[in-house]
Structure 1
Amino acid sequence: MTVIGAWNIENFFEPGGPFGPSDRATFDRKVALLAETIRSADVDVLAVEEVGDPTAFEELRARLGDGWSGVLSTHFEVDHPIRVGFLSRLPIEESSEFFDIPPLLQAAPTGDDGAPLATMGRGALRIRVRLGADPLDLVAAHLKSKLLSFPGRTPNATSFVPRDEAQRARYGAYALNRRAAEAAAVRGYADDLLAGDGSTRLVAVMGDLNDEVRAATTQILQGPPGSEIGTAGENHPDRGDAWRLLNLAPLIPEERRFSRIFEGRKELIDHILVSTALRHRITSADTVTGATQLPSITVDAAARKDSPVSDHAMVVATIEG
């Protein structure tokens, strides 16, 4: 049995600085709670999002104990340097990262300045491990947030409050454009991994997709429609099986089918999508919060700077063999 998971560990920075907690005690408490939750989930490989400092990541890896290795993406936005990574108890045979937006989507508007969208904000990362003798490719991704930020009234400043409703609408559209283009980039990379052989290749795309199951951006990642879990076509092979990624969300018990609470509303925005071959080996999926309750958050991200717990639940899947 092998357990894989994905977890947004929320602005994981060393203390001090613009994003990290105010003091070492708060940071140490967060490291301890993260490690406790990871151990209680008994995961073998965990994709993590919102890692700010490589040094913080290394402290978490060390806290997990011997036998854990890790790898981080090197592509992130300079203004908010959060990135994706993997922690693993299984040997990582190889890794690679990607971040290029498909050329035909680079003209999509993402701000009033009209700057072209050449790369993903947070680069995606792939690792390869083994399930027995079989290679398993895992891709970690963190797509553009639904929480909107707007140009401030001074150069290089940002604000979470729009100047007017027209600006709110534009930047909502810009964020959606960017998230959709990033989803298409990850989908294209998954196509390369599947290579038209998803009925035998073991592939998973996982992470914070910042949208729910039926959202258009999440649907982009799934590829050919049909045979979704829980539908009439689930157990009927078809031509789409060679390319399809299946979202494991329906396997999560309904009462725990959420990974974030935003202004009191439960939503599942963290996902694990798997190839047809890997779906046949999945026995269960779930969310994990550990010993702490998931907090309800607002658009004020700065208010959580000193919170020792993540605002996301971990999403996990169990694989036989």
Structure 2
Amino acid sequence: MVAIGTWNLENLFRPGEDSGRQTDAEYDAKLDALAATIAEHSPDVLAVKEVGDPEALEDLASRPEGSWNTALADPDGRGIRVGFLAQSALTSLEQIIDFPETLAPVQVDDEGSTITAMGRPALTARIRKAGTNIDLVSAHLKSKLLTYPSGRFSPRDEGERARYAVYALHRRAAEAAAVRAGVDDLLDGDGRQNAVIVAGDLNDEPQAATTQILLDPGGSEFGSGGYEREDQGDAARMWNLAPLIDEEQRFTRVYRSRGELIDHLMVSHALTEAVESVTTGGVDVSSVADSPGARDSGEASDHRPVVATFELG
């Protein structure tokens, strides 16, 4: 049995950083709460998001029982990054950064600035369990939270809001395309044999166009009529495990009092029949809005984890 999870740890910085907890006591409480959830699910690998200080991830790794390995990608402009916290050995570490070559640069502001790479690089790693190599991708796509010039979170008018929503959507879609290109490399033309898992905070729900970019070709989702029928697409497609989560627990964040499933585990064909269970961990999270400063500092994270168990061999 192997357990794989994904969790946005929400600004895991050591005390004193702008985005972190301000006192040692608050920091210790956050680490204890995160560690308790990790110990409860005991994942072989947890794909982590919003890690600020690498030392903070090491602090977290020292809390649960056992020996834990860590690996991190490069940080974004805010100083946060994706990575892995794992009881298994992590090999074949590589970053996914650049957008596909034929994709035009993506406009990100009213000044016409463009980008050709992910703001937060994704990170790939390989583990070996029960004689099976599993390639993992930890990714954190562009947030739905809109940021305006001078760091504002409120637009000057509805025209500005609409434009910046388009910029964010285009960026998230391009980042999804970059991750999908990385997944194609890992699948190596045969997802029936090659086990690949995308473990990401995709910042959108299962049916969103950006999320769907990572799945194609469609027509064989869990619970659909096409799932039981093999076809040529099985070698390339990924399956979102979202439909396997109990419906009442099918959310990882509460936004404006509505539950959203924006954190996802996706698997290649080689793992679809190996899935034993999928959970969002039962962690209580309060509702968030468009102001990141309004968070309850008493909570460990504003996200629930998603953890799946697989029976291999």
Hey, what does 2:11 align to over in structure 1?
11
SS of equivalent to 2:115: coil
CA distance in 2, matches of 1:104, 1:305: 43
Q: Specify the alignment match of 1:155 in structure 2.
A: none
> By how many angstroms is 1:283 displaced?
1.6
Q: Which residue of 2 aligns with 1:135?
A: 133
Match of 1:294 in 2: 285
| CA-atom RMSD in angstroms | 1.2
Q: Please name the residue that 1:240 is paired with.
A: 233
**Distance in structure 1 (CA, Å) of the matches to 2:240 and 2:161:** 31
Q: Distance in 1 between matches of 2:112 and 2:103?
A: 13
2:61 counterpart SS class: helix
Alignment of 1:108-123 (within 5 A): 108-123=106-121
1:3–1:42 CA contact under 8 A, matched in 2? yes
Match of 1:150 among 148, 151, 175: 148
Aligned residue-pair number: 312
Residue 200 of structure 2 corresponds to residue 200 of structure 1: no
SS state of the match for residue 103, structure 1? Answer: coil
Counterpart of 1:226 (choices 212, 215, 219) is: 219
Partner Cα separation in structure 2 for residue 71 and residue 251 of structure 1: 29
Unaligned 5+ residue runs, structure 2?
none
In the TM superposition, structure 1's runs of 4+ consecutive aligned residues that sit over 4 Å from their partners are none
Partner of 1:70: 70
CA contact (8 A) 2:39 2:65 kept: no
Cα deviation for residue 116 of structure 1 reads 2.0
Q: Deviations over 1:225-273 (max 9, x none)?
A: 1111000010110010000000000000001000100010001000000
Mapped to 2, the partners of 1:123 and 1:108 lie a distance apart of 16
Paired AA for residue 55 in structure 1: E
> How much does 1:106 deviate?
3.9
Scaled by the length of structure 2, the TM-score of the pair is 0.97
Tell me how far apart the structure 2 counterparts of residues 317 and 63 of structure 1 sit (CA, whole Å).
Answer: 22
1:103 is displaced (CA, Å) by 2.7
Deviation, 1:60, is 0.3
Distance in 2 of aligned mates of 1:41 and 1:106 = 42
Higher mean displacement: 269-278 or 59-68: 59-68
**Contact kept? 1:27, 1:308, Cα under 8 Å:** no
Structure 1 residue 117: deviation in Å? 1.1
Provide the rounded CA distance (Å) in 2 between the counterparts of 1:117 and 1:100.
Answer: 9
Q: Which runs of 5+ in 1 are unaligned?
A: 153-157
TM-score scaled by length of structure 1: 0.95
Structure 1 counterpart of 2:131, one-letter code: A
Among all aligned residue pairs of Structure 1 and Structure 2, give the percentage whose two residues are the same amino acid: 49
Indicate how the Cα distance of structure 1 residues 107 and 93 shifts in structure 2: closer, same or farther if over 3 A, else same. Answer: closer
What aligned pairs does 1:2-151 form with structure 2 within 5 A after superposition?
A: 2-74=2-74, 76-78=75-77, 80-151=78-149
- CA displacement, residues 136-189 of structure 1 (integer Å, 9 cap, x when unaligned): 00100000000101002xxxxx10011111000000000000000000000000
The CA distance in 2 between the partners of 1:222 and 1:3, in whole Å, is 21
Cα distance, 1:77 vs structure 2: 2.1
Distance 1:307 1:189 in 2: 37
Contact 2:249 2:282 in 1 (8 A): no
- 1-side partners of 2:233 and 2:108: how far apart? 32
Q: 8 Å contact 2:285–2:299 — kept in the other structure?
A: no
- Displacement of 1:305 in angstroms is 7.2
Partner Cα distance (1:244, 1:17) in 2? 41
Distance in structure 2 (CA, Å) of the matches to 1:13 and 1:304 = 15
